[in-house]
Amino acid sequence: MSPLPNDSLALVLLVFVLGVKHGFDADHLATIDGLTRYNARSRPRMARFCGSLFSLGHGAVVVAIALAVSLLSGSWAVPEWLELSGAWISIAFLTLLGLLNLRAVFAAPAHELVRPVGLKGRWLGRLARVSDPLGVAFVGALFALSFDTVSQAALFAVAGVQAGGWQHAAGLGLVFMFGMLLADGANGLWMARLISRADRVARIASRVMALAVAGLSLLVAAYGAARLALPGLEAWGEGKELLLGGGVIVVVFASFLLGLQLARRDVRPLGA
């Protein structure tokens, strides 16, 4: 894996892109979907903001990790194995999540919305069934206590220290959280919109987004594995992290907008 860029603007943009990309993680989508569904009837107004509340809790832990790593970086260096093992763990999870979400698309009955599939949500179980803002934020915080999130926060925290100190590391943590907040907040609003509808177009829209997330998960996993296995591809990818990450976000947002356009159409429900 290539190191993070030394240029301050490029580093900030890359961390922002990583935050947005992290917000589209299948586990985030699945948990926000569950939280939104759980609150849709009893607290519909809060249900729209489950994605934002989840992201704020998740981001607060990321900032705390960045601060802790930056303060300890003088006496502790990030081991080389951390980035490599983190990359392979991410590849394995992305592959599994991609396959599970593809299965969800094709297994969902024609009359139902497609629900994203996640892994962490299954482990947390009933902890995701909360109906107050602090509870939703707490669930997001729990999701940040994972190897991939901690390793990613540690890497850009060290880059922030090298750029100017713990203030820069904390700033990068906030940039990451802002990017994630945009993605998760939009996803929460999107889920609330789809759940409030029961027509054919909403079902099509949910499948558009699920297929996009599944396909991108598999593509990113395949590219990550190829970079680790083929030195030439790794050399080609150096300096293109921002472009490649931006491409992933563009595809997901294009799918999101396509689904949103479908959901806004005035189509009569089936059986009307």
pLDDT in tens, 138-147: 988 888 877 6
Q: Rounded CA gap, 37 and 195, in Å?
A: 7
For helices 26-39 and 200-229, angle between their N-to-C axes, nearest 10 degrees: 150
The model's confidence at residue 262, banded by pLDDT at 50, 70 and 90, is low
136 — phi, psi (to 5°)?
-65, -45
Query: Which residue's structure tokens are 């093992």?
Result: 85
Residues 61-70 have a mean pLDDT of 87
pLDDT, tens digit, 9 for 90 and up, residues 199-211:
677 777 778 877 8
pLDDT at 272 (0 to 100): 43
3 — phi, psi (to 5°)?
-70, 165
pLDDT at 57 (0 to 100): 93
Distances 71 to 43, 92, 144, 160, 206 between C-alpha atoms, Å: 41, 31, 19, 11, 43
Residues 76-82 have a mean pLDDT of 61
How is residue 33 written in tokens? 């979907």
221, pLDDT greater than 70 = yes
pLDDT at 266 (0 to 100): 47
Query: Which residue's structure tokens are 């931006």?
Result: 246
* Structure letter (DSSP) for residue 230: -
pLDDT, tens digit, 9 for 90 and up, residues 139-169:
888 888 776 777 778 777 777 777 777 788 8
214, pLDDT greater than 70 = yes
- Per the CB < 8 A criterion, the answer to whether 217 and 101 are in contact is yes
pLDDT, tens digit, 9 for 90 and up, residues 85-121:
767 777 887 788 788 878 888 888 877 777 777 666 5
pLDDT at 267 (0 to 100): 46
Highest mean pLDDT among 49-63, 122-136, 255-269: 49-63
The model's confidence at residue 55, banded by pLDDT at 50, 70 and 90, is very high
232, pLDDT greater than 70 = yes
127, pLDDT greater than 90 = no
pTM above 0.85, yes or no: no
Q: Rounded CA gap, 242 and 249, in Å?
A: 11
The model's confidence at residue 79, banded by pLDDT at 50, 70 and 90, is low
Query: Which residue's structure tokens are 């139902």?
Result: 112
Cα 37 to the center of its chain, rounded Å: 19
How is residue 138 written in tokens? 């707490």
Report the chain's mean pLDDT, rounded to a whole number: 77
| CA atoms lying within 13 Å on the CB side of residue 250 | 6
Q: Rounded CA gap, 154 and 40, in Å?
A: 36
Smallest CA-to-CA distance from 104 within 179, 215, 196 is with 215
* Structure letter (DSSP) for residue 5: P
